[in-house]
């Protein structure tokens, strides 16, 4: 038994005990048998009762668990199985609960775990589990119509649904399940050569897509899908800060700027390490395992996966040391601009219901690691630079302007001999009158002409104005220099913001506090420190008095140091490591 496995058994047993106390036992409640989650009610989504079922199933069949063949736990499991059947909608779906009602993709998340649970229980030689196992099978059978017809919201949902179809096929052997999976797979893989998925979600959805396509590739014998998983897992080696925090500075989903670790990658690294006999993946699985402190979603349950797939034993594999010094340019050669120029010809006119276009997909970024120093440089995001120095977290540097107005998302990045250059040309013009031949009858013949009924797409642009910003970032001895410059346009209010972790202290001789957590560096330098680690930021400016520029937002839970500038300017800032 390796250390991660023993720790998992302990965590799962403790979780089992806690969740037994949260099971609804009132027979008059519509939630009877379910496990109350953080909302105060029991739900059937992948993070709620089904996730607990995965933990309980793992305990019931595992001789190393103190709940092995525990009849009290089995009775609770049986009640929870009744609950998910009772709360399953007539169309076979479940609801996420926080949003997404009668949701095929959220049902697919749950199917991804309950299929594995069912397989684990069915393979176990204990007759007492078979009635509860049969209830799981009934739940799965009811989902098949929705899985055969249901749609998605987001890019990763396609692969979650495809995995559900594949895992259902393992059990029910219905060829139409494969046919539906093929319909989704026909859309092609949305991953760059360097391993980035559309949503750029290192904290959440990378691991979701990876584990889903692993199962799809395994069941359907599609080795090309496993190559996509490999790419992402190789990329993630370079997207971890020294503390184990995952880089989320440029995510296109809800993990953007939030704190995540590598725990959700444990199982997929383990499965792929065993499949490929890969020492790097084995080392990454070990590393990810050190962050597991609680159970995961039902579709990516670590101990369930280890028990169901004993072939994922990597105890005999060598381990490759994980890199802690590197300069890695990701997506340097991805043809993002070529792809973006093709949008107009597709015909969707940048409209998609209940989802996003994710136009930053494939944008280049630079990751630099030097022991306990970790830097990310990136375009197409609100922040273009972030740094970790020991315990110090410079979460980002962003530029805002009154021209657009709002946050400047640099459009491109180039790397040349240690100098990283970002740039953008902002445009803002004015809309002329709609040519008469395009006007609707309501404009010509009615006393009322609603603005929203006018064909605005035909308005000619007038007085188009531009403003160019550039940034040059260079690593020097003991820190970084960041040169920010504008073109010659005058009197555009601009604000450079240094976003810092709330845990540190800010000090400086010419530093004014505007409100809690917000400061203006008017001149000179300031220091930010967390325990023995610190950085010094210079030099300040206070050329206008605006506390915040229009349409800029400052999330809570951070400290902000602002530098106010008016164009034209050419200023160099330093971030010195102390």
| Inside any domain, residue 525 | yes
Buried b (16+ CB within 10 A) or exposed e, 321-343: eeeeeeebbbbeebebeeeeeee
The residues with which 498 forms a beta bridge, in sequence order, are 397, 561
Nearest Cα neighbor of 576 from 335, 373, 278, 432 is 373
- Determine contact, residues 109/48, Cβ cutoff 8 Å: no
pLDDT of residue 13: 95
Give the 3-state secondary structure percentages of the chain, helix then strand then coil, rounded to 5.
Answer: 35, 25, 40
Average pLDDT over residues 433-453: 87
Return the higher-pLDDT residue of 399 and 448. Answer: 399
- Determine contact, residues 132/107, Cβ cutoff 8 Å: no
| Inside any domain, residue 526 | yes
pLDDT of residue 358: 80
Mean pLDDT for all residues in the chain: 93
Average pLDDT over residues 363-373: 93
Segment holding 141, helix H or strand E: helix 130-149
Q: Tokens representing 93?
A: 């779906």
| Inside any domain, residue 572 | yes
Roughly what angle, to the nearest 10 degrees, separates helices 205-220 and 223-236?
150
pTM for the model? 0.92
Segments in 150-265 forming alpha helices (H):
155-172, 175-185, 205-220, 223-236
pLDDT of residue 1: 61
Question: What would the pLDDT profile of 122-171 be if each residue is shown by its tens digit?
Answer: 999 999 999 999 999 999 999 999 999 998 888 888 999 999 999 999 99
Q: Which residue has the tokens 């902002």?
A: 426
CB atoms < 10 A from the CB of 503, how many? Answer: 13
| Inside any domain, residue 422 | yes
- Give residue 492's domain range: 372-432+460-577
Average pLDDT over residues 101-105: 89
Question: What would the pLDDT profile of 38-55 be if each residue is shown by its tens digit?
Answer: 999 999 988 899 999 999
Strands 525-530 and 412-416: unpaired
The residues with which 571 forms a beta bridge, in sequence order, are 484
Q: Which residue has the tokens 């280049």?
A: 364
d(CA 229, CA 329): 19
Question: What would the pLDDT profile of 529-578 be if each residue is shown by its tens digit?
Answer: 999 999 999 999 999 999 999 878 777 789 999 999 999 999 999 999 99
Share of the chain above pLDDT 70, in %: 99
- Determine contact, residues 529/392, Cβ cutoff 8 Å: yes
Return the higher-pLDDT residue of 358 and 286. Answer: 286
The residues with which 505 forms a beta bridge, in sequence order, are 529
Buried b (16+ CB within 10 A) or exposed e, 231-253: bbbebbbbbbbbeebbbbbbbbb
| Inside any domain, residue 111 | no
Nearest Cα neighbor of 332 from 452, 441, 415 is 415
Residue 255 has pLDDT above 90, yes or no: no
Roughly what angle, to the nearest 10 degrees, separates helices 130-149 and 175-185?
50
Which residues touch 324 (CB under 8 Å, ≥6 apart)? Answer: 242, 369, 370, 371
- SS3 sequence of 240-274: ECCCCCECCCCCCCCCCCCCCCCHHHHHHHHHHHH
Separation in Å, CA 148 to CA 92, 142, 177, 202, 298: 11, 11, 7, 29, 21
The residues with which 377 forms a beta bridge, in sequence order, are 366, 385
Q: Tokens representing 410?
A: 């640099």
Share of the chain above pLDDT 90, in %: 79
- Determine contact, residues 84/92, Cβ cutoff 8 Å: no
pLDDT of residue 461: 95
| Inside any domain, residue 562 | yes
Which residues touch 57 (CB under 8 Å, ≥6 apart)? Answer: 77, 117, 120, 121, 304
> Residues 435, 440, 442, CA angle at the centre, nearest 5°?
125
Question: What would the pLDDT profile of 218-232 be if each residue is shown by its tens digit?
Answer: 999 999 999 999 999
Tally the domains of the chain. 1
For 298: left if phi > 0, alpha if psi spans -120 to 50, otherwise beta; the answer is alpha
Query: How long is the chain?
Result: 578
| Inside any domain, residue 417 | yes
Q: Is the peptide bond before 405 cis (omega within 30 degrees of 0)?
A: yes
Average pLDDT over residues 406-422: 92
Average pLDDT over residues 443-452: 83
- Determine contact, residues 542/564, Cβ cutoff 8 Å: yes
Return the higher-pLDDT residue of 98 and 403. Answer: 403
The residues with which 419 forms a beta bridge, in sequence order, are 416, 474
Give the dihedral sign, CA 144/148/150/151: positive
CB atoms < 10 A from the CB of 456, how many? Answer: 11
Backbone angles phi, psi at 385, to 5 degrees: -150, 135
Average pLDDT over residues 402-416: 92
d(CA 369, CA 377): 12
**Range of weakest confidence among 193-197, 319-323, 329-333:** 329-333
d(CA 207, CA 156): 10
Give the dihedral sign, CA 468/495/370/233: negative
From the centroid of its chain, how far is CA 528? 28
> Is residue 527 packed enough to be buried (19+ CB in 10 Å), middle (13-18) or exposed (0-12)?
middle
């Amino acid at each position: 038994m390796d250390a991660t496995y023993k720790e998992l058994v302990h965590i799962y047993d403790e979780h089992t005990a806690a969740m037994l106390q949260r099971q609804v036992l009132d027979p008059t409640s519509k939630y009877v048998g379910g496990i109350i989650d953080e909302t105060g009610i029991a739900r059937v989504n992948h993070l709620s009762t089904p996730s607990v079922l995965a933990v309980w199933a793992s305990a019931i069949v595992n001789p190393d668990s103190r709940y092995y063949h525990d009849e009290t736990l089995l009775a609770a499991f049986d009640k929870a199985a009744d609950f998910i059947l009772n709360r399953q909608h007539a169309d076979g779906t479940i609801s996420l609960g926080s949003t997404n009602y009668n949701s095929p993709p959220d049902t697919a998340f749950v199917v991804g775990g309950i299929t594995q649970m069912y397989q684990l229980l069915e393979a176990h030689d204990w007759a007492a589990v078979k009635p509860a196992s049969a209830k799981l099978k009934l739940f799965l059978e009811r989902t098949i119509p929705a899985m055969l017809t249901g749609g998605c919201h987001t890019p990763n949902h396609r692969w979650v649904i495809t995995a559900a179809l594949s895992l259902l096929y393992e059990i029910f052997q219905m060829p139409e399940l494969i046919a539906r999976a093929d319909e989704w797979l026909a859309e092609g893989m949305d991953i760059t050569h360097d391993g980035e998925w559309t949503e750029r979600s290192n904290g959440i959805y990378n691991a979701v897509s990876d584990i889903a396509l692993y199962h799809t590739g395994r069941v359907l014998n599609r080795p090309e899908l496993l190559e996509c998983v490999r790419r992402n897992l190789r990329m993630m080696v370079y997207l971890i800060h020294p503390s184990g925090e995952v880089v989320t500075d440029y995510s296109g989903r809800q993990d953007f700027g939030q704190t995540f670790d590598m725990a959700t990658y444990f199982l997929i690294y383990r499965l792929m390490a065993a499949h490929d006999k890969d020492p790097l993946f084995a080392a990454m699985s070990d590393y990810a395992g050190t962050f597991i402190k609680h159970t995961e979603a039902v579709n990516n349950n670590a101990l369930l996966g280890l028990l169901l797939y004993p072939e994922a034993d990597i105890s005999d594999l060598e381990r490759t040391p994980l890199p802690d010094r590197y300069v890695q340019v990701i997506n340097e050669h991805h043809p993002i601009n070529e792809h973006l120029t093709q949008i107009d010809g597709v015909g969707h006119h940048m409209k998609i219901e209940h989802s996003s276009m994710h136009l930053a997909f494939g944008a280049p970024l630079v990751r630099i690691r030097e022991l306990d120093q970790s830097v990310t440089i990136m375009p197409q995001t609100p922040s273009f630079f972030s740094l970790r120095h020991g315990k110090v977290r410079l979460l980002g540097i962003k530029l805002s302007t009154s021209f657009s107005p709002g946050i400047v998302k640099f459009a491109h990045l180039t790397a040349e001999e240690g100098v990283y250059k970002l740039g953008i040309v902002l445009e803002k013009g004015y809309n002329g009158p709609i040519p008469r031949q395009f006007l609707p009858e309501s404009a010509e013949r009615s006393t009322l002409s609603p603005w929203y009924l006018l064909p605005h797409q035909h308005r000619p642009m007038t007085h188009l104005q531009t403003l160019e910003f550039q940034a040059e970032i260079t690593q020097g001895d003991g820190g970084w220099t960041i040169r920010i410059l504008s073109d010659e346009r005058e009197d555009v209010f601009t604000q450079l913001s240094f976003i810092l972790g709330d845990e540190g202290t800010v000090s400086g001789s010419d530093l004014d506090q505007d409100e809690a957590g917000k400061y203006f560096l008017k001149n000179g330098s300031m220091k930010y420190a967390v325990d023995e680690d610190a950085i010094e930021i210079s030099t300040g400016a206070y050329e206008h008095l605006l506390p915040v520029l229009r349409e800029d937002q400052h999330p809570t839970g951070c400290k902000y140091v602002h530098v106010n500038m008016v164009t034209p300017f050419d200023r160099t800032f330093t971030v010195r490591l102390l």
